[in-house]
Structure 1
Amino acid sequence: MGLSPAGKNVMLDAWGAVAVWLSLHDGDPGTTGANELAGGSPAYARQLGAWDPATGGVITLAGSETFDVPASSDVTHFGAWSVVSGGTFYGGGVVSLPESFNGQGIYILDDTTSFTQT
């Protein structure tokens, strides 16, 4: 037996309250947060974000977050963590607009980014 949409929303809202440090990845982060970007000047760093209340079993970023991206990087996935460095990885997904960077640049994780409980 699965959760109702209301049950999924409760679970996602609790998740969104702790999974507030956002990351970018150049491959699937899996269940550990693997493939997180690093380096650059200015240096890549996780960004503090917030999530809108879940609806229909989906939680969506409340706003856009801007990241510095090192040269020779591909942004393909995002992640959500407990703290700015290290910490607990809570999950992630595929970004809506993957991008490759030849040189140092910025990537905007926009407010269409979402996490779905299936």
Structure 2
Amino acid sequence: MGTFTPAARETASLEVTGLGLHISLHTADPGTTGASEATGGSPAYARQPTTWTGGASDGSVAGSEVTFDAAAGTYSHFGIWSASTAGTFIGGGALSSPATLGAQGQVKVTPTVTVNN
């Protein structure tokens, strides 16, 4: 693979984030299918909408912070989806630090997509 300009990396990351506006929470790496998505809880877990912000020309696009209601457990990854339910899984990544809940609680996530050389 070649080396890309910062502008090309920014364009690529904006294209990827344009495919999905809903963020999911996962108990393990979602891989290429969106596996290990959180479930359950009361109030119940649900995917959350984000707003993507680019423009730094560094190949990195951040989403707005989202808050998930989640059951007790450890959450280590986020995913990007085309819809709030069902939809197409776009991709995901590791949380900057896993969140472990001993009881029902909330997990805050600021998703980021970065295209590197």
Decide: shared fold, TM above 0.5: yes
1:79 and 1:92 in contact (8 A); partners too? yes
CA distance in structure 2 between the aligned counterparts of 1:13 and 1:76, rounded to whole angstroms? 24
CA distance in structure 1 between the aligned counterparts of 2:51 and 2:89, rounded to whole angstroms? 16
Q: What amino acid sits opposite 1:24 in the alignment?
A: L
Match of 1:116 among 103, 114, 117: 114
What residue in structure 1 maps to residue 62 of structure 2?
60
Shift of 1:3: 2.9
Number of residues paired by the alignment?
114
Identity of aligned residues (%): 39
What residue in structure 2 maps to residue 101 of structure 1?
101
CA RMSD of aligned residues (A): 1.3
Bigger mean CA deviation after superposition, 75-84 or 93-102: 93-102
What residue in structure 2 maps to residue 41 of structure 1?
42
Q: SS of the counterpart of 1:94?
A: strand
Q: SS of the counterpart of 1:7?
A: helix
Shift of 1:18: 2.2
**Deviation sequence 1:81-105 (CA, Å, 0-9, x none):** 0001111111111111211112100
CA distance in structure 1 between the aligned counterparts of 2:30 and 2:58, rounded to whole angstroms? 25
What residue in structure 2 maps to residue 9 of structure 1?
10
| Structure 1 segments unaligned to the other structure (5+ residues) | none
CA distance in structure 2 between the aligned counterparts of 1:97 and 1:80, rounded to whole angstroms? 18
Q: What amino acid sits opposite 2:105 in the alignment?
A: G
CA distance in structure 2 between the aligned counterparts of 1:10 and 1:57, rounded to whole angstroms? 7
What residue in structure 1 maps to residue 25 of structure 2?
24
